[in-house]
Amino acid sequence: MERVGLLAIFRFGTPACKGMGDGYFLKSTNVPGSVVGVVGNPNGDYTCWERPEDMDTPRTSYIITKQNPGSEVSAETAAALAASSMVFRGSDNRYSALLLNRAIEVFEFADKYRGSYNNSIPNGACPFYCDYNGYMDELVWGATWLYKATKRPYYWGYVKHNIHNLGRDVTQFGWDVKNVGIHVLSS
């Protein structure tokens, strides 16, 4: 019974789950033409074993901009916002539209200003979060979620046109490799 109740909360986008992860993504993309890529210092954070409430390490924000692009994190954020918009569709259409519109804006930013966050924010991205697979899979992943959320032919065309640019690795799915997820989501 508990499990069914929890699933219902997420399925129908009740206020209990509003802002859980999507709130962070909305805040991290609140300034047009920028995306917060990483918060904190990876080296300092990985050596600190305190509760977050007790941490006194700097909470540096590493920002993706037009001049310092990060298509991986920007397109991944667009994908998360698009997916979240689907959760709230039907129960909070206004919030769903806010999430979807932001997803579209962030995806356009990620695609227009292509580049790797490895180069733009190396102190925030590496050595723990380096993208070894390139950013094209995240762009196609974002377009796939936007197609699911909008049914707009533009996004399906984007997926079909760019899927050949992905590596052939369909044996894993994770934060750095989206190929399997793209194939499952678009099938």
Q: How far apart are CA 169 and CA 137, in angstroms?
A: 11
Dihedral angle sign, alpha carbons of residues 151, 154, 160, 162: negative
113 CB neighbour count, 10 Å cutoff: 18
Domains of the chain, each with CATH number or no CATH: 2-186 (1.50.10.10)
In terms of phi and psi (left: phi > 0; alpha: psi -120 to 50; beta: otherwise), the region of 87 is alpha
Structure tokens at 16: 């209990």
How far are the Cα atoms of 83, 106, 157 from residue 45, in angstroms, in the given order? 29, 27, 41
SS3 of residue 111 by DSSP: helix
pTM equals: 0.88
How far are the Cα atoms of 57, 119, 120, 127, 160 from residue 46, in angstroms, in the given order? 11, 21, 21, 11, 39
Terminal CA-CA length for the chain: 32
Q: How far apart are CA 41 and CA 37, in angstroms?
A: 12
CA-closest candidate to residue 29, choices 110, 95, 89, 150: 110
pLDDT one digit per residue (tens) for the chain, 187 residues: 344 444 444 555 556 567 677 889 999 999 999 999 988 888 888 888 888 788 887 788 899 999 999 999 999 999 999 999 998 898 889 999 999 999 999 999 999 999 999 999 988 888 888 888 889 999 999 999 999 999 999 999 999 999 988 877 777 888 888 988 998 898 8
What confidence score (pLDDT) does residue 7 get? 44
